[in-house]
Structure 1
Amino acid sequence: MNMRKIRLFLLLAVAVSLTGCAVIRQGDVGVKRTFGKISKRELQPGLVFYNPLVSTILRVPTRTTNIEIRLDLPSKEGLNVKSDISILYHVNERKATEVIGTIGKDYETSMILPVFRAAAADVTAKFMAKDMHSGNRLGIENEIRSKMAEILEPRGFVIEAVLLKTIMLPPGLYRAIEEKLEAEQEAQRMEFVLQREKLEAERKLVEAQGIRDANRVISEGLTPIIIQYKTIEAYRELSKSPNTKIIIGSGSQPIILQP
């Protein structure tokens, strides 16, 4: 009886040893390797059965992966610019078996990082150090990504983005950039002041021209008769005043005396 139990237990152990199972998570694909040979078909997420004595299941992430690296980037003037960089990429799901079969599981170290270092050095060497710290940063990032994609996408990788997160320029260059920005701001301020003064001068000129034209119109309309009439009107208004007054004209006008 005991021998029968032992035999049954051994048969169950052999059966279990001949049948293994693996769980492929969402965002991964499975690559089956049997006797060292890579299967051509990727295993989709879910439960996978296999023979653990002859096969292994490798899990390859196809979701976005972020590699962070600190690197000295060469500039056009020969400076080394320290930078913290993120590389966002994922493995093409349809080429996962090709990636494992031709590159191996350690594809980040053996393929992606070397290609990135070469592409980054080629691109940044064409730019001045200050360009990496200015609005040209986006163009530099896109150019590095494009160079990497030329090499890596045919091999089964999708390069989503290259991000220059932190740029650390040499201290002397930082001060030179600050001084240039300050000079540009001062020049813009002076330009604004000059423009304002110019507009004010133009305003005063227009105002003076308006006064001159108004006086000219008035002087042209003041004939001797009108002047005499206006003088009489003025004398008449003054004579109506209850206050004591003496008004002496020019000789051609009447003298008004009122106590």
Structure 2
Amino acid sequence: MEKLPKIGLPILILLVLTIVFISKSTETIGSGEAGVLYKTFGGGVVTDAPPLGEGFHIVAPWNKVIVYEVRQQEVFEKMQVLSSNGLEIKLDASAWFQPDYEKLGLLHQQKGENYVARVLLPTIRSAARSVVGRYTPEQLYSSKRDAIQKEIFEETKKIVGDQYIQLNEVLVRDVTLPPTIKEAIERKLKQEQEALEYEFRLEKAKKEAERQKIDAEGKAVANQILSASLTDKILTEKGIEATLQLAKSPNAKVVVVGSGKNGMPIILGNQ
């Protein structure tokens, strides 16, 4: 094996050092990520400049880049909280969040990479206990889930907003009551539904009775008006008209004029 020229060895060493220097001085930030720059000889975490965005970056080898995911993320949490009357309620919730991009340096400096466990989850638990404690199990089971979801979101956001965390939504996925309480609430709701149905039937029957009463009163008034208008003279005229109509029929008959009651004709011999 031939020996390398004396001039070639320093060049080879320099080339190797250059490659190592370049490999240690580059950082590639992936999609949906951002980097926080830590300057070893320049004051530590950089908080007065935007974080490093996606793509390729040249960084001094004695500095360090801490990469954070900055797209929206979801965290799940199962909690046991107490209702307003002291009963234990199991709450299954999740939160949509992401770090505050412009303040990523402050988040790393003050909270660290484990900010979800240190800040976000404890705040959600505290807000859930506070909110659920205002409601009864019946309210939580039937009609107040949307309300407690909104209130937990508002209370959590109010705290983590100052902690460089952007909270987008809190979702209450399930509320689990003790079995005996759940059964009692279901029985009560069923009884209330049956009572409403019974009241509806009563109201319907009452309206039908009122309708029939109004109809009967209307007919009675009409009959009174008709009776008042039927004088003896009108009745006699109507009787004569009816007799004349009968007389025109082809059946054989005998008409005795003036022999009936009140002088009305009598028709005899119809076949």
2:21 is matched with which residue: 15, 18, 22?
Answer: 18
SS at match of 1:147: helix
Moved over 6 A (4+): none
Partner of 1:89: 97
2:58 paired residue number:
49
Q: SS state of the match for residue 160, structure 1?
A: strand
SS of the residue corresponding to residue 120 of structure 2 reads helix
Q: Given residue 58 of structure 2, which amino acid in structure 1 is its aligned partner?
A: F
Contact 2:77 2:121 in 1 (8 A): no
Q: 1:23 to 1:226 in 2, by over 3 A?
A: same
Name which of 199, 208, 211 aligns with 1:200. 208
Query: 1:2 aligns to what SS in structure 2?
Result: coil
Whether contact under 8 Å (2:75, 2:96) holds in the other structure is: yes
In the other structure, the counterpart of 2:37 is 32
1:151 has 2:162 as partner: no
TM-score (norm 2): 0.86
Q: Deviations over 1:51-91 (max 9, x none)?
A: 33x22211112221100111112211212212221111111
Q: CA RMSD in A?
A: 2.2
Distance 1:131 1:55 in 2: 55
Native 8 Å contact 2:74 2:97 kept in 1: yes
1:67 maps to: 75
Unpaired stretches in structure 1, ≥5 consecutive residues: none
TM-score by length of 1: 0.90
Say which of 8, 13, 17 aligns to 2:11. Answer: 8
- What is the percentage of aligned positions where both structures have the same residue? 29
Q: Aligned-pair distance for 1:245?
A: 4.8
- Where do 1:1-259 residues align within 5 Å? 2=4, 4-19=7-22, 20-35=25-40, 37-40=44-47, 41=49, 42-52=51-61, 54-245=62-253, 249-250=260-261, 252-258=263-269
Query: What is the aligned residue count?
Result: 258
Distance 2:267 2:146 in 1: 91
Q: Match of 2:134, SS?
A: coil
Q: What is the CA distance between 1:183 and its match in structure 2?
A: 1.8
Distance 1:251 1:78 in 2: 92
The change in CA–CA distance for 1:89 and 1:227 in structure 2 (over 3 A counts) is same
Q: Cα deviation per residue 1:217-248 (whole Å; 9 max; x = unaligned)? A: 11111111111111122222222222345677
Alpha-carbon spacing, 1:257–1:134, altered in 2? closer, same or farther (3 Å):
closer
